[in-house]
Amino acid sequence: MSDREEIFTRIKTALEPIEEKTPYPEWEDSLVISQGLDEFPSLWELFCHKFREVNGMPLEGVEALAAFLKENGQTTGYCDPSIAVELKKLPAFQGITLITDYERDRMDDYQFGITRAAGAIAETGTIILKDKSTSARLGALSPWTHAAILEPEYLWPDVPTALKQVLDDDPSVILVTGPSKTADIEGVLIEGVHGPGVQICCLTPAG
């Protein structure tokens, strides 16, 4: 039994004698949804605005992603195997090496990571990553540049709507709002310390 399994087994054992669990609190969704956001003509434009405010980089189409990687000399990186199959067919990705196996001892070799987004939240500019849809968690969190590939149908307007969609039995749900940030040292904000310094959300065409 791993340490993780032992910890959760102990928690489960400790909770078993409790006959009635405390219910989740109830609230009106309108109380936790940002107001005054109807000025944006589409959810994607709202997401782009919010994502840029936290230093994220929204892109439309994988060709734009390929152009960014080439412009920044990032030509070798990790890519979700199911995404790599399609990207390798595109002329835009010629000259870019997509590695589909993430090896911990080669961490410094991956200049970028391309994985799937489980969804995104327009009102906060947040990308959602889940273990079930992320082929390699380290591939999303350890390279300096991470690109989350987002399908339009998984872009939700607000936090309550998104949580109702993503909170299931997945062991890990990560909400990513821009590049990683910390201000532990003298209150100075630094990006890219605990994760990617460049966070991209790449919207794919519908269908």
Q: What is the predicted pLDDT for the residue at 76?
A: 96
34 within domain boundaries: no
105 within domain boundaries: yes
Query: Where does the pLDDT of residue 101 fall: very low under 50, low under 70, confident under 90, or very high at 90 and above?
Result: very high
100 within domain boundaries: yes
Hunting for tokens 């909170």 — which residue is that? 167
Global pTM? 0.82
Q: For residue 115, what are the domain limits?
A: 43-203
Confirm if 200 and 54 have CB atoms less than 8 A apart.
no
Nearby residues of 94 by Cβ (< 8 Å), 6 or more positions away: none
H/E stretch holding 173: strand 173-176
- Give phi and psi for 147, each to the nearest 5: -115, 120
170 within domain boundaries: yes
User: Could you give the number of structural domains in the chain?
Assistant: 1
128 within domain boundaries: yes
86 within domain boundaries: yes
pLDDT digits (tens, 9 = 90+) for 145-172: 999 999 999 999 999 899 888 887 777 8
The rounded distance, in Å, linking the Cα atoms of 144 and 111 is: 6
pLDDT over 90 (residue 38): no
19 within domain boundaries: no
114 within domain boundaries: yes
CATH number of residue 162's parent domain: 3.40.50.10420
